[in-house]
Structures are given as structure tokens and as C-alpha cells.
Chains A and B, each alone.
Chain A
């Protein structure tokens, strides 16, 4: 009798904990128990993604409608998802890893977290330079890192290359975000590959010397600073311009009208392009579904959604870009293999620190 109070207490706690444990699994358990007779490969596919765009949710829904396969999602930062995948090891429930940067995909591959995929559809839809050489990942969209300029202050004829931004004439005019940002890391990695480490370091030093202000905020903030007159040029990804053009805030729509987009290095080694891409995890439990999902993403229908919804360049060459992107015209991209961005990432980060790019 005297012990019963304490026992009750313990029981309440254990039940609470069990309840918590179960309710988290509700969706999965429900799936497992309702289809016990079928192969485990029909019901669902589990996705770890570093992309948080609402248009992606529409894509998952469209896939489920078409195939009946449910898409379970964990949205996080790529680096944390990689850490999680590697800790889960062969027990992981994650079937797919979707990242918004080639460097991160390469890193996942290096850590032995991905596996090769054989699919005619994918090979047909995605050009060779947009996939891993061992087919461990495939690009789904492309984004160009371009120069955005204030139309009223800059004549696009003054612009030529990324290297030119380090010229004396742009002192105090250049806007670019922090070196913590992975798009910048990949940009510098590409220069290290194309121009050598010395030249890349000089470039980074030159940009630091020409910065209009300490790097801060996201890509959108750089564009705002251009229009506000803090600087004249911003280095940023194309789809942010597209997003402002379609914003719910009319003030932001006006912004997009006041800037021009310039593709640098057209006469030399091309504009820097990064991708977002997806691969099947090494220990995927639903590999067949995972491949189906990738094939779906590369299809015309899905690629159109990528293009229209988030203003990214579709990886599938048969699909047209959005009207806005088309209005900026065709461009020549850097000719390096995307794996390089990952291989040189750590060195790029260190180089940034050495030249004092915050």
C-alpha cells in the first residue's frame, strides 16, 4: 500500500513515454500493418531533403497521386542530414537524399552514403554533365550564380567577368553574402579548379577589398542593397530574382524591375552553375520506389513545376525554363565536373577564412 504512490508515478511516466513513442510512429505503423501481404517495396518512400520550397510539396503530392506511393519527408539542413544518415548507418530508413548543392551531394558520396542507380529514364532525361560519374546522384535543377546590377547606375557593357569585380573601379560597390554560405563556397571551389588556388585567393582578397559592406543577410538582401544604393552590383543566384518578381509584397515586385541580370565570363570560362540533385541512399529499404521517385522528378511534368514554381533552370533539356528566365537569354556555363565543387569545398572554406571574408 505504501509503495503504491510511487509505483503509480512511475507507471504514469512510462505510459507517457510509450504514448509519445507510439504516436510518432503512427503513420509508419499504420502503413506497415495495413499492407502486410504486399512486398515492403510498394507503400512508401522516405526522403531526406535540404530543399524547403513549397513547390516541392506539390511535387510529392503529384507523385503520390500518380503512383500511390506515399512520400515521407524530413526537411533539414543538408549538413545535418548527412550527419544523421551517417549515424544511422545500415539501419537508416531514409531512401533518398535531396540537396540544393553539388558539394553536399559529393560529400554524401564520399562518406559512402549513396549508391549507384541504373535507370534508362534518368540517363535519358538528365544530361551526362549533370550527374555523378558513378550515377550516385542526378541533378534535377540548375541555378546560375550571376551578377545583378542596378539598371540606373550600371551599364551592362561595363561588366565582363567575376574577376573584373576585383578591379579598382568597383571599390565599395560589390555586394555578396557571407562565406558561410554554401553557394559562395562552391563558387570559390570552381575558381580554384579553373584558375588555380593562387588566382582564386587573389580573387577572394580582391572581392573583400571591394565589398560595399560586411557580408550579411541572404541573397535577397544583397539585391535589396543594390536597389537601395548601398552598392551597385550583387553576386547572387538567379531564382531569388524570380522569387521577388512573384512576391506577395508589391514593394518586392518593384525591386525585381529595377535590376538587370548579367551572366559573367561569357567570353572566357563561363558562368558558375550549381545544381540541386538527388541520390538513393546506400542502405535504402525502398530502392525501387526511390528510383521511381527520381524518374518522376526528371520527367517533363515535374521539371515544369520546378521551372515555374521556383524559377530554377530545369535539368531536363527538353523542358523550357520559365518565361522570366527565358527573358534573360541563354548563357554559357562553366565546364567543370560538379564533383569538383565538393572535392574542393573544405579548401574553399579555409581560403575564405584566410582572406578574412566573413
Chain B
């Protein structure tokens, strides 16, 4: 009886896991079903005239953004974990803050600073009568886009590398120091090789963000896969070609993910967690210390301070137009959907994570891989898949609506549940990764002990496991919350009637070429995300490794 009960329980974890997996797969499949139709005339047109530049542009963006985020992210992480210098404690978490600025907001803010009527050129013109060559102030270029992505995405590399270095690198670094290596050699010959798993983990997040970005590339007029998907789908009205493009994009993403796994699989530098201790920090004083602080300050300025200051300036110009009662509704809407979706994601991630951890089968492993699917799909593709499913569902439910006295109309697909469902699909991977790493850290021994003492899987989960990984849960929750707050394409396509968020409002103003007006919703996104990220940092600090 007891054994059977255990089995039933374990099965229900399994069932729930597969329900989630199915929910993720459904909308994607409904789109991909079209992949096997004959290519049409549009496709040949795309292939002949456009495909080459899509591939070149997307790969250029990805390559250079990856390169620069590694350079900046890893160097900052290394300096923070190995040296003492003025203001270090502030920069340590300050360097996470650029994540609170969505790249599309960064993009139009920088364009606003640098263009002809921007603050720099106006000042030069009006006060010093200097006219500058426009091309040196033009950020709407490929290098400009790489700059924007690097500045607002490097924290992914920084966070992951930093937490690895802080916990894992002490003995190697100290030995290298004893053997007489200087800091540069240590960085080059020790830090980069040992932290490559962490770096790759961070960079693959950066790459996925870049490939999926729609706001920046559209604004800058750079044609990439994601703009191409929008153009084929909505511009040419050609669903089939759009899906084909998405299919190519997916293949690229899958290659990247497989590579990441390969690198991770061969890691030989893992340490037993019992020996964890921080690196002994070298104190930098005088000019060296100052130089180090200056480096941090420069990065911090470009990635956070300068755009923030510009937004604040614009906010000052427009606050009397923007601050209305409706604005508070926007804030509430944004926070509300992000909260609900983040809760759902954490719950789903916990269930899938716990199930895959306890059952070692291949199917369970596969289930955990499916979670990444939503994160690697372009937002527009998910959106259309979700719409199709929800409208179908509504039609099936018409008799039910009538039975409970409602009009048989689109209820689900005009409610925010559709939007929230799409968020869950899109961001489950983020929550899942965080929770999976939490489970990895505690291992199975405590669960096994609890089971030996007679608790069921479910009881152990609530009484033992959950308590041990609560830091990871909170961390995952916050990351997801911030991501949803910044999300754009899904929210634009799936919004219900009269439902606007800070992100959609900011984008509408910006795409309507009213950049000053976009500043206040943007500032609110940054403020709320910034606060959440600060909390996240505090949680990481407290977390016993």
C-alpha cells in the first residue's frame, strides 16, 4: 500500500511534467506543422535576394556581441573576485544593473543622445558653434547595434562567471600567484580556461537574446532573422516562409545549445563543493586602485548612468503630459502580469525540475530540454501559435460558456490568460535553469535521507528540498519577473482590449518617433527591474554556497 502510494505520487509528478511539456510543444507544433508544405514563390524571392544578408547580419551581430560581452563580462568578474579597490562593493552589484535596461530602450536613448537634436550635438552647436560630421555620431549602424547589445547584455556573462570564480577558483589562482604569475597571465592562462563553462553558459544567454531581439534591429534598420520573420509573415502575409526562416533560426540555436552541452560535458575543472572558499583578494592602492575603479566606472556609465540620465532629462520635459491616472494603471498592469506569470513559471519549473532530478530516465531528460524551446523561438512565432491554440480552445468551450450563462464568444483568447500562457512558454527556461542549478547544488542525499525516514516524494519536496533551494527559487523568480517586465513582441501581439504595459507604451511612443514621451514608461521599467535586481543580488549574497 505504502509503495503504491509512492508510485502514484511519483507518477503524478511525471504526469504534471508531461502536461507542461505538452503545453509548451503544442503552440510550437501548430506552427511547425507548416514547415512541410512546398515552398512558394515568396520563398524563392527571399532566398535569392535576402537570405544571404540575413545570415551575414545575424552572424556578425552574434559573433561580435559574444566577443565583447566575454571581454567585458569576464574581466569585470575576475577583477571583482580577485582584487580590492575603491568602490568595489558598489560596483560588484552595480554591474548587474544594466540588465534592467531593455536593449531597445537603450537603443533609442543612445540615438536620442547622439543625433542631431540630441544633447551633445545641440550643446556643441549652440555653445561652441561646432558642427560635427554626422557619421561619427551615427549609432544606427552594425557597430552601433553591437555596442548596444554588449552594453546591456554583458551582465549575463558577468553574473555567471563571477559566481563561478568566487566559489571555485581560489586554490588555482593562489597557486598560480605563488608560482610567480602576474595578474595578466593568471587571467589569460588560468581564469579563462577554468571558467569556460560558466562563460559559455552566460554567452549562450546573450546569443539567444541577440537572435531574438526585434526592437533594436528594427529601429536601427538592420535586417536579421527576426525582422525577416516579421516581414515575411506580416509584410508578405506568408506564413510558410516565415516558419521556414524560424526553422533556420531554430537550427542555429540548437547547434549553439549542443555546442554548449559539449563544452560543459567535457569540463575537467569541477571541484568538490566542500572546499569552497573565496579567493584571497589583492589590495590595489594608489594609481592601480584608481585605474581599476575608473574602468568599472566607465563601463557603468555607458551601460547604465548615461542612458538613465538622458531618460531622466526627457522625463523632466514630458512628465506633465504623461503622468495621468492611466499611467498608474500601466504600472499595475505590468507588475501584475509579470508577477502571475513568474509564479506560474516557478511552480512549473519546480515540478519539472524535481521530477527530472529524481527519475534518471531519458524521457525525463528530454522533458527538461523542451523547456528551452520557448526561449529559443522568436516571440512572434510563439504568439501566433498561442493565438491559434486559444481560439481553438474557446470554440470548443462555447457550449460550456453558454451552460454557465455567458455569451459564446472569445473569452480566453481575449483575456490576459492568453498573454500569461505565452509568457510561461517563453520564459520557463530562465526559471528552470535557476532551479535546476539549485537542485544540482543540494544533490540527492538529503531527499534520500528524508525518504528513508518515511516521507513521501511530495512531503520530502515541501519539507526538505524546497527549503534548501529557496535561494535558487527566489533568484529564478526575480529573473523571470524582470524579463517579463521588459518583454515586447508577445505583449504587443497578444494584448487584450484596453491593456497596455509600460513596455508596450514605451515602444509605441518610440516607434512613433516621440522619444521624449517614451522616457517615463522606460524609467519605470528600469526602476522596477533595478529594484528587483538589487534584491536578487542580496539573495545571492546571503545564499550559502
Q: Show the binding face of A for B, using Cβ within 8 Å.
A: 2-3, 5-6, 9-10, 12-13, 16-17, 19-25, 27-28, 32, 40, 46, 52-54, 72-77, 79-80, 82-84, 87-89, 91-93, 107, 177-178, 180, 213-221, 224-225, 227-230, 240, 243, 247-249, 251-252, 254-255, 285, 346, 349-350, 353-354, 356, 358
* Chain B residues within 8 Å of A10, by CB: 16
* Chain A residues within 8 Å of B416, by CB: 20-21, 23-24
* Chain B residues within 8 Å of A358, by CB: 221, 223
Q: Which chain B residue has the least Cβ–Cβ distance from A71?
A: B498
Tell me if A16 and B343 are in contact (CB < 8 A). yes
Stretch of B80-88, B279-287, B407-415 contacting A (4+ beta carbons < 8 Å)? B407-415
* Chain A residues within 8 Å of B461, by CB: 5
Tell me if B235 and A252 are in contact (CB < 8 A). no
Interface residues in B463-508 (C-beta closer than 8 Å to A): 492-493, 495-500, 504, 508
Tell me if B384 and A83 are in contact (CB < 8 A). yes
Residue B394 CB within 8 A of the other chain = yes
Q: Which chain A residue has the least Cβ–Cβ distance from B424?
A: A17
With A and B bound together, what is the CA distance between A252 and B414 in angstroms? 40
Tell me if A76 and B459 are in contact (CB < 8 A). no
* Chain B residues within 8 Å of A73, by CB: 497-498
Stretch of B115-123, B180-188, B190-198, B263-271 contacting A (4+ beta carbons < 8 Å)? B115-123
With A and B bound together, what is the CA distance between A251 and B223 in angstroms? 31
With A and B bound together, what is the CA distance between A285 and B409 in angstroms? 10
Indicate which residue in B131, B237, B344, B508 contacts A229 across the interface (CB closer than 8 Å).
B131
* Chain A residues within 8 Å of B388, by CB: 87
Residue B262 CB within 8 A of the other chain = no
Tell me if A91 and B395 are in contact (CB < 8 A). yes
With A and B bound together, what is the CA distance between A52 and B492 in angstroms? 12
Q: Which chain B residue has the least Cβ–Cβ distance from A185?
A: B235
Residue B420 CB within 8 A of the other chain = yes
Tell me if B493 and A80 are in contact (CB < 8 A). yes
Tell me if A252 and B117 are in contact (CB < 8 A). yes
How far, in Å, is B137 (CB) from chain A's closest CB? 9
* Chain B residues within 8 Å of A22, by CB: 415
* Chain B residues within 8 Å of A40, by CB: 407
How far, in Å, is A148 (CB) from chain B's closest CB? 14
Tell me if B227 and A180 are in contact (CB < 8 A). yes
Tell me if A3 and B409 are in contact (CB < 8 A). no
Chain B CB count within 10 A is highest, among A5, A23, A89, for A5
* Chain B residues within 8 Å of A80, by CB: 234, 380, 492-493
* Chain A residues within 8 Å of B407, by CB: 32, 40
Tell me if B497 and A249 are in contact (CB < 8 A). no
* Chain B residues within 8 Å of A252, by CB: 117
Chain A CB count within 10 A is highest, among B111, B321, B336, B416, for B416
State whether A20 and B420 are in contact (beta carbons under 8 Å apart), knowing that A12-B347, A216-B140 are contacts in the complex. yes
Tell me if B516 and A21 are in contact (CB < 8 A). no
State whether A214 and B221 are in contact (beta carbons under 8 Å apart), knowing that A84-B493, A88-B391, A354-B49 are contacts in the complex. yes
With A and B bound together, what is the CA distance between A247 and B410 in angstroms? 41
* Chain A residues within 8 Å of B516, by CB: 247-249
With A and B bound together, what is the CA distance between A137 and B219 in angstroms? 30
Residue B512 CB within 8 A of the other chain = yes
With A and B bound together, what is the CA distance between A17 and B380 in angstroms? 23
How far, in Å, is A245 (CB) from chain B's closest CB? 13
Q: Show the binding face of B for A, using Cβ within 8 Å.
A: 5, 8-9, 12-13, 16, 45, 49-50, 111, 115-117, 121-122, 131, 134-135, 140-141, 219-221, 223, 227, 231, 233-237, 317-318, 321, 336-337, 340, 343-344, 347, 351, 380, 384, 387-388, 391, 394-395, 406-407, 409-417, 419-420, 456, 458-459, 461-462, 492-493, 495-500, 504, 508-509, 511-514, 516-517
* Chain A residues within 8 Å of B111, by CB: 217
With A and B bound together, what is the CA distance between A224 and B114 in angstroms? 12
Q: Which chain B residue has the least Cβ–Cβ distance from A17?
A: B417
* Chain B residues within 8 Å of A75, by CB: 495, 500, 504, 508
Q: List 9 A-B contacts (CB under 8 A).
A: A6-B13, A52-B512, A88-B391, A180-B227, A216-B140, A217-B221, A230-B135, A248-B317, A353-B50
How far, in Å, is B188 (CB) from chain A's closest CB? 38
With A and B bound together, what is the CA distance between A132 and B246 in angstroms? 36
Indicate which residue in A249, A349, A354 contacts B236 across the interface (CB closer than 8 Å).
A349
* Chain A residues within 8 Å of B116, by CB: 224-225, 227-228, 255
Tell me if A180 and B498 are in contact (CB < 8 A). no
With A and B bound together, what is the CA distance between A243 and B117 in angstroms? 14
Tell me if B131 and A28 are in contact (CB < 8 A). no
Tell me if A2 and B9 are in contact (CB < 8 A). yes
Q: Which chain B residue has the least Cβ–Cβ distance from A19?
A: B340
* Chain B residues within 8 Å of A219, by CB: 513
State whether A228 and B134 are in contact (beta carbons under 8 Å apart), knowing that A2-B5, A52-B512, A80-B493 are contacts in the complex. yes
State whether A225 and B134 are in contact (beta carbons under 8 Å apart), knowing that A21-B415, A24-B499, A353-B50 are contacts in the complex. yes
With A and B bound together, what is the CA distance between A227 and B517 in angstroms? 23
* Chain A residues within 8 Å of B318, by CB: 248
Q: Which chain B residue has the least Cβ–Cβ distance from A251?
A: B117
Q: Which chain B residue has the least Cβ–Cβ distance from A111?
A: B237
Tell me if B9 and A87 are in contact (CB < 8 A). no
State whether A3 and B412 are in contact (beta carbons under 8 Å apart), knowing that A83-B384, A229-B131 are contacts in the complex. no
* Chain A residues within 8 Å of B415, by CB: 20-25
Tell me if B492 and A77 are in contact (CB < 8 A). yes
* Chain A residues within 8 Å of B395, by CB: 91
With A and B bound together, what is the CA distance between A149 and B306 in angstroms? 33
How far, in Å, is B48 (CB) from chain A's closest CB? 9
State whether A218 and B409 are in contact (beta carbons under 8 Å apart), knowing that A20-B416, A79-B234, A88-B391 are contacts in the complex. no
Tell me if B410 and A93 are in contact (CB < 8 A). yes
Q: Which chain A residue has the least Cβ–Cβ distance from B495?
A: A74
With A and B bound together, what is the CA distance between A80 and B488 in angstroms? 14
Tell me if A180 and B122 are in contact (CB < 8 A). no
Chain B CB count within 10 A is highest, among A10, A91, A224, for A91
Q: Knowing that A24-B499, A93-B497 are A-B contacts, what are 10 other residue pairs whose CB atoms are under 8 Å apart, sorted by A's residue number?
A: A2-B458, A5-B458, A6-B13, A83-B234, A89-B391, A180-B227, A214-B221, A217-B111, A227-B116, A249-B117
Tell me if B417 and A16 are in contact (CB < 8 A). no
State whether A28 and B417 are in contact (beta carbons under 8 Å apart), knowing that A93-B409, A225-B116 are contacts in the complex. no
Indicate which residue in A74, A79, A87, A217 contacts B391 across the interface (CB closer than 8 Å).
A87
State whether A2 and B456 are in contact (beta carbons under 8 Å apart), knowing that A46-B497, A218-B513, A229-B131 are contacts in the complex. yes
